[in-house]
């Protein structure tokens, strides 16, 4: 018997079925999912296929063919069906299970030469993934149907093709279907064959599945399912294994007799291998030890009929009370959500792409990914096993727009169970997978419970999570989620729950900090609470990528696969831009909400990555005492021998001293005091000690010398020094009381406005600021008083919500001007963007050097990862090119800075205390008035902001806003600074 029907008989009612309209049919003719490795010896079918894009599935295939690259989406390959972005809404109005009549359908066709040496073997076609319905024909005969856009479909072609002969394979992909309603996943809508296609052959007697269970105590169990495509299983077959040279034999006590499955009249055999590995090397995200396992199926005469190779890890996952344990240890989950995405190829990602993704995450302190919201490319799991990342593997289920209707709809029951079970059957042998997820944003109903029931029966070794079940009651014990995994629940709520005494399960946010634009405020505050509150165990940032698609400006089309080299450091080349929702002419879209990652579309890290790296630091300075520095190991499994260190002492007077650091031998959780590496100079003012921690040797994810973290402690505070006034020197102002200075093209004035961030816009604060008129304040001079060496200017800034009274005292000092300012915000202007000074400089000042936090961008509620020191950055590089232009480029905690030309001329500013400073080429109005960076025209000079107070960033585009402590409060604000020429 065969594994499944090879093709419908003309009388079969399925031949007349329109499968894109029937949720009860998840597949037909498709082979069962399994975890057997078939890549070795396969015939790859990737490359250019003949292609036609039809307007509907019923349209006839014409005589004119173009070509399309497989794997790839047709929406990125020059067709008129372009990408479309929607978050919640479906791209068509039909209700489940219906799809629109205008339904793009791609027809792919090519000849396949079946190798002659495959004579007598079983021949299988594997299509890695297709969106959203796949129909397979060979030589004009129907073979099968598959839904589930993010898992492979396999079809037995043994009776349809001949070894040594040529056949025509046709793959028809229907874009919209009943399945689209459960793939509504906050990403670009595409169509096409998104993963590799291959043909492989096995012996008729073959491994149908392999299940590996390897525990961290060294016990190993391998369960094998065997089939024979020719009929009943032959007598005498057996299985063997090899684990790194150790030969493993079949468990003789296990029942190996034929077992007939009445449903498909198939014959199965089962065999088991068991052993215990002494002195086992265990797997975890810090030390991902893997073993090579080879499973062989033998005929009665001992010859090998089939082989499957696996890389396995010995580890256990369990929940004990309200703790998630890996190998018995409570681990913090420092996660990010990840889509399969590339700015040139859409949904198709290569091995190199995926490795670069995970290497980036490892280098910035992440130890976990959630495969939002579908099983990712299978290679990703191999890489997670190898590099060391925990995986929450999520089923291909999200019915966001119609969640309530579908969760209990029996027509979708098969789809839910099918998608969950196929994910588990494919990925069960990966040690990196520690949690199964039933999907995302699909309400909660009987279909989830059915899928959870199957999963728990099939794999009791891992917990199950589903936010939709857990959100009804985080303490419930009888729902489909073993983990309370809230989405954007406030930190206050979560801490309160953990302290309430009602908590019954671990709390790990599935999404908690939304990385849209200039965002991720309060990340350090969240982790301070997580690490100090039993019951809180971490979470997943939304998300890894900004999903910007590289687009040609002249014709508005995606650049496609040939666009490598047309972007650098997050910036698209001239004539190109990063497209987001609406940029492809789609009438319904959700704009830049697709740009919500911790990296830009070319994988350039956003500043939040440096924040996260420091939050996740494996070694930290616990405190500074007079007798030395106390260091702590904050890992779960690993010592510090893999790290190297260097001490750096930064003094406010410009000096930086360095010395080698010998890290103590600390086990996880231990601390130790080490001597202070420097004798602190008596002079030099404020002093900061930084431990530059790097990799001591090459790691799989980082070469030797890669920075791992930069923990820091302040050894001495600053001593304030007021500049001395010079009475015999005048301060020049114009008739409006504005400072006249040869290095300034625009005098310092009061600023309460910033170019709204995505959080400001979507969280509602930008609308409030505009309603107050903060973007168009009217300045009225109330009084100007001039005395020897000093000018006092009193002004009023008029808004629609009240008057801001501003006083500026300009005093001549040695070498420059000292500026003292105060501004009184009325109660009606609570929570403005900033309060401070803004001015513009002459052209040619191209380098900023400063003492303060840096070198990367930082803001009041996202400054933990920016160490205090001496930094130097070209002005053009201070700006962060978030996809939609917005407030960018700020540096927090700046003590003093210079802006200089190549000949070292320029200006210097000394601040009264650490302040938020922004230096870019753009006014706030420049950024506010455009939608893309290619529309921006940089100014020749510098636009400089010095803020007495600056509002935090928060994550209000999707999630909580910043905390009250990071808001700009009404009342009187005072600040001062001194401007000198270099």
Strand ranges, E, within 29-152: 43-44, 47-54, 66-70, 72-73, 84-86, 105-113, 122-131, 133-138, 141-147
Distance from first CA to last CA of the chain, Å, rounded? Answer: 87
The pLDDT of residue 913 is: 97
Q: Give me the pLDDT at residue 719, please.
A: 84
Cα dihedral across residues 494, 500, 502, 505: positive or negative: positive
Cα–Cα distance, 923 to 942 (Å, whole number): 9
Q: 616-671: per-residue pLDDT in tens? A: 999 999 998 777 899 999 999 999 999 999 999 999 999 999 999 999 999 999 99
Minimal CA–CA distance to 943: which of 879, 895, 896, 883?
879
Interatomic CA distance for residues 625 and 602, integer angstroms: 44
What is the pLDDT at residue 582? 97
Q: What is the mean pLDDT of residues 491-516?
A: 98
Determine contact, residues 336/598, Cβ cutoff 8 Å: yes
How wide is the angle at C-alpha 523 spanned by C-alphas 531 and 369, nearest 5°?
80
**pLDDT tens digits, 258-281:** 555 444 445 789 999 999 999 999
555 exposure class (CB count in 10 Å sphere: 0-12, 13-18, 19+): exposed
The two beta strands, 368-370 and 390-394, are parallel
Give the Cα separation of 484 and 480 in Å (integer).
Answer: 10
DSSP string, 156-181: E-TTT--TTSEEEEEEEEES-SGGGG
Give the other-Cβ count within 10 Å of 443's Cβ. Answer: 18
Q: What distance in Å separates the CA atoms of residue 122 and residue 674, rounded to the nearest whole number?
A: 66
What's the confidence (pLDDT) of residue 292? 97
CA 902 to chain centre: 39
Pairing of strands 816-825, 971-981: antiparallel
pLDDT at 63: 83
Q: Do 537 and 507 contact (CB within 8 A), yes or no? A: yes
CA distance 179 to 181: 5
Q: Rounded to whole angstroms, how far apart are CA atoms 371 and 464?
A: 14
pLDDT in tens, 826-860: 999 999 999 999 999 999 999 999 999 999 999 99
Residue 891 and residue 916 in contact, taking contact as beta carbons nearer than 8 Å:
yes
- CA–CA separation, 33 vs 425, rounded Å? 6
Q: Report pLDDT digits (tens) over 397-426.
A: 999 999 999 999 999 999 999 999 999 999
Task: For residue 4, give Cα distances in angstroms to 258, 266, 377, 697.
Answer: 18, 9, 25, 51
Beta strands in 591-698 (DSSP E): 619-625, 628-633, 643-651, 656-661, 671-674, 687-695
Report d(CA 248, CA 242) in Å as an integer: 6
pLDDT tens-digit map of 560-594: 999 999 999 999 999 999 999 999 999 999 999 99
């Amino acid at each position: 018997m065969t594994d499944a029907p090879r093709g419908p008989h003309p009388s079969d009612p399925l031949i007349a079925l329109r499968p894109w309209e029937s949720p009860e049919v998840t597949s037909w003719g498709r082979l069962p999912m399994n975890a057997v490795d078939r890549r070795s010896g396969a015939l790859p079918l990737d490359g250019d296929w003949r292609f036609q894009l039809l307007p509907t599935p019923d349209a006839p295939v014409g005589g004119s063919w173009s070509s399309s690259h497989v794997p790839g989406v047709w929406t990125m390959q020059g067709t008129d069906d372009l990408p479309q972005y929607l978050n919640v809404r479906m791209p068509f109005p039909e209700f489940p299970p219906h799809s629109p009549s205008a339904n793009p359908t791609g027809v792919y066709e090519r000849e396949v030469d079946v190798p002659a040496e495959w004579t007598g073997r079983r021949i299988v076609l594997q299509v890695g993934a297709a969106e959203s319905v796949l129909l397979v024909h060979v030589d004009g005969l129907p073979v099968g149907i598959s839904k589930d856009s993010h898992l492979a479909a396999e079809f037995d072609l043994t009776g349809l093709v001949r070894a040594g002969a040529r056949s025509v394979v046709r793959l028809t992909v229907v874009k919209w279907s009943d399945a689209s309603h459960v793939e509504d996943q906050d990403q670009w809508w595409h169509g096409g064959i998104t993963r590799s296609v291959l043909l492989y052959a096995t012996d008729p007697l073959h491994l149908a599945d392999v299940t590996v269970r390897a525990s961290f105590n060294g016990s190993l169990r391998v369960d094998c399912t065997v089939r024979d495509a020719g009929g009943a299983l032959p007598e005498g077959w057996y299985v063997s294994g090899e684990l790194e040279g150790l030969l493993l034999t079949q468990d003789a006590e296990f029942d190996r007799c034929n077992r007939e499955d009445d449903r498909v009249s198939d014959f199965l055999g089962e065999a088991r291998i068991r052993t215990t590995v002494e002195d086992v090397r265990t797997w975890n995200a810090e030390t991902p030890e893997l073993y090579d396992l080879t499973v062989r199926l033998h005929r009665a005469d001992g010859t090998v009929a089939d082989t499957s190779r696996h890389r396995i890890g010995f580890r256990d996952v369990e929940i004990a009370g309200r703790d998630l344990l890996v190998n018995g240890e409570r681990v913090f989950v420092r996660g990010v959500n990840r889509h399969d995405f590339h700015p040139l190829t859409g949904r198709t990602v290569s091995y190199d792409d995926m490795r670069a993704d995970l290497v980036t995450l490892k280098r910035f302190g992440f130890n976990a990914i959630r495969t939002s919201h579908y099983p990712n490319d299978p290679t990703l799991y191999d890489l997670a096993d190898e590099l060391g990342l925990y995986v929450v593997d999520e089923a291909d289920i999200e019915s966001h727009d119609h969640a309530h209707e579908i969760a209990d709809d029996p027509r979708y029951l098969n789809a839910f169970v099918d998608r969950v079970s196929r994910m588990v059957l494919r990925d069960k042998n990966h040690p990196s997978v520690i949690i199964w997820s039933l999907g995302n944003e699909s309400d909660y109903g009987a279909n989830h419970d059915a899928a959870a029931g199957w999963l728990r029966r099939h794999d009791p070794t891992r917990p199950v999570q589903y936010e939709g079940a857990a959100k009804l009651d985080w303490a419930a014990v009888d729902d489909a989620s073993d983990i309370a995994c809230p989405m954007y629940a406030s930190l206050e709520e979560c801490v309160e729950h953990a302290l309430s005494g009602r908590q019954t399960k671990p709390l790990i946010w599935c999404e908690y900090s939304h990385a849209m634009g200039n965002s991720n405020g309060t990340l350090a505050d969240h982790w301070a609470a997580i690490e100090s509150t039993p019951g809180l165990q971490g979470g997943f940032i939304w998300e890894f990528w900004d999903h910007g698609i590289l687009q040609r400006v002249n014709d508005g089309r995606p650049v496609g696969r040939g666009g490598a080299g047309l972007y650098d450091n997050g910036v698209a080349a001239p004539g190109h831009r990063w497209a987001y929702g609406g940029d492809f002419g789609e009438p319904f879209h959700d704009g830049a909400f697709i740009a919500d990652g911790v990296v830009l579309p070319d994988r350039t890290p956003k500043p939040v990555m440096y924040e996260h790296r420091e939050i996740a630091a494996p070694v930290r300075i616990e405190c500074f005492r007079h007798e030395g520095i106390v260091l702590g190991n904050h890992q779960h499994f690993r010592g510090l021998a893999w790290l190297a260190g260097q001490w750096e002492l930064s003094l406010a007077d410009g000096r930086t001293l360095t010395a080698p650091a010998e890290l103590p031998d600390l086990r996880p959780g231990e601390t130790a005091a080490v001597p202070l590496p420097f004798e602190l100079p008596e002079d030099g003012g404020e002093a900061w000690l930084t431990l530059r921690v790097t990799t001591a040797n090459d790691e799989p994810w980082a070469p030797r010398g890669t920075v791992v973290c930069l923990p820091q402690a302040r050894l001495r505070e600053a001593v304030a020094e007021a500049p001395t006034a010079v009475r015999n020197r005048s301060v020049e102002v114009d008739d409006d009381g504005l400072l006249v200075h040869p290095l300034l093209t625009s005098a310092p004035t009061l600023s309460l406005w910033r170019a709204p961030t995505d959080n400001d816009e979507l969280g509602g604060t930008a609308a409030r600021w505009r309603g107050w008129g903060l973007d168009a304040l009217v300045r009225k001079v109330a009084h100007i008083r001039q005395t020897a060496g000093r000018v006092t200017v009193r002004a009023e800034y008029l808004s629609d919500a009240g008057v801001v009274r501003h006083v500026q005292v300009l005093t001549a000092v040695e070498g420059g001007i000292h500026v003292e300012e105060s501004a009184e915000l009325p109660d009606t202007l609570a929570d403005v963007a900033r309060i401070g000074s803004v001015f513009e400089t002459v052209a040619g000042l191209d380098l900023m050097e400063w003492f303060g936090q840096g070198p990367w961008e930082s803001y009041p509620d996202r400054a933990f990862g920016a160490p205090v020191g001496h930094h130097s950055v070209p002005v053009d590089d201070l700006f962060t090119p978030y996809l939609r232009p917005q407030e960018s480029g700020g540096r927090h905690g700046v003590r003093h800075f210079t802006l200089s030309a190549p000949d070292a001329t320029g200006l210097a500013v000394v601040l009264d205390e650490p302040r938020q400073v922004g230096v870019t080429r753009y006014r706030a109005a420049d950024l506010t008035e455009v939608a893309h960076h290619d529309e921006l025209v940089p100014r020749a000079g510098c636009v400089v902001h010095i803020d007495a107070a600056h509002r935090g960033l928060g994550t209000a585009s999707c999630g909580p806003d910043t905390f009250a402590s990071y808001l700009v409060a009404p009342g009187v604000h005072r600040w001062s600074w001194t401007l000198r020429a270099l």
